[in-house]
Amino acid sequence: MTIGTDQPNLDLTYSIEDFEAGTHRDSQYLYRAIEDTVVDLATEVRGGRVLDVACGTGKQAMRIAQRGCVAIGAEASLEMIGVGRWVHPESQAGMLRSIAESLPFLDDAFDRVICQGSLDHFADPHAFMREAARVTKPDGRVVIALANFESVSCRFGRSIDALKRRLGRPRPPWRRYWEIPEDHNFKGDLPYVRALGGDALQIDRCFGISMLWNFSNGWLLDKLPERVGRGIWVGLDGLARKRPQHSDIIISVWRKPGATPWRKTR
């Protein structure tokens, strides 16, 4: 099922890109890396069938469709679906309304199921994982991208904030980046991620993206020449890939029990 292209009744400046990635370089590098990584993992099977759960406006599903895969976005918000269809009516990606915990698809329907930055909003993430396992093919994969609130950056931020409070320094009225938002239902970190699969899924790969995001409020990389700033970020990202427990974003790839494990190739 797809949605028509009448202009949606909501703030397009907020919704077209799903969220504001931020104007600082570290945010731009981070979100580009997340999106590119998830798309690469989603399209590992040439011409495969891919489901993007909690897809927002469907931007990622549309990118996946451009790579020759059959891409479907599932999203609970009818307005967000409408935005995506209105902005990109030409996209070959399908979109339908669905909650993550009850997916309206047959068993073994997809080569890849992805969920980028949304699982911590779900009412029952474990129910979603069971559903993702059900609709994934026997040798398929489920890809999860989740913010890590035990990252090096979050830990440093909490420590510095505690010191400021002891010194009587004023605190800003807005939510700090290391504080869990009110619309999140749990704290994302590596132990939580490792426990997500239950009996339905096993971890196939797990790595991090980015390190020390937002620690300097983004100003440090902004002040450096582009080549230098980019080089620093790439170096920190390389560390994050090997140490997901310290990274800003945790990427986990899951397989069904009995599926052939992933093997790293040189």
User: What pLDDT, in 10s, does the model give residues 207-265?
Assistant: 999 999 987 666 777 888 889 989 999 999 999 999 999 999 999 999 999 999 987 65
What does the pLDDT read at residue 2? 45
Percent of the chain residues past pLDDT 70, beyond the cut: 89
Cβ(136)–Cβ(204) under 8 Å? Answer: no
Strand 249-255: give its sheet, edge to edge: 94-97, 70-75, 49-53, 110-116, 136-147, 249-255, 202-209
- Going from the C-alpha of 89 to that of each of 4, 7, 62, 79, 92, the distances in angstroms are 8, 11, 10, 15, 9
12-255: CATH class: alpha beta
Question: Which sequence spans correspond to the domains of the chain?
Answer: 12-255
Q: How far from chain centre, in Å, is Cα 130?
A: 18
What's the mean per-residue pLDDT of the chain? 89
Q: Is the confidence at residue 10, as pLDDT, over 60?
A: no
Q: Is the confidence at residue 160, as pLDDT, over 70?
A: yes
User: What pLDDT, in 10s, does the model give residues 32-46?
Assistant: 999 999 999 999 999
User: What pLDDT, in 10s, does the model give residues 68-126?
Assistant: 999 999 999 999 999 998 988 999 999 999 999 999 999 999 999 999 999 999 999 99
pLDDT interval class at 14 (50, 70, 90):
very low
What is the pTM for the complete model shown? Answer: 0.89
Which run of H or E residues covers position 114? Answer: strand 110-116
**17-23: which pairs have CB atoms within 8 A and are 24 or more residues apart?**
17/57, 17/59, 18/56, 18/57, 18/59, 18/80, 22/218, 23/218
What does the pLDDT read at residue 77? 92
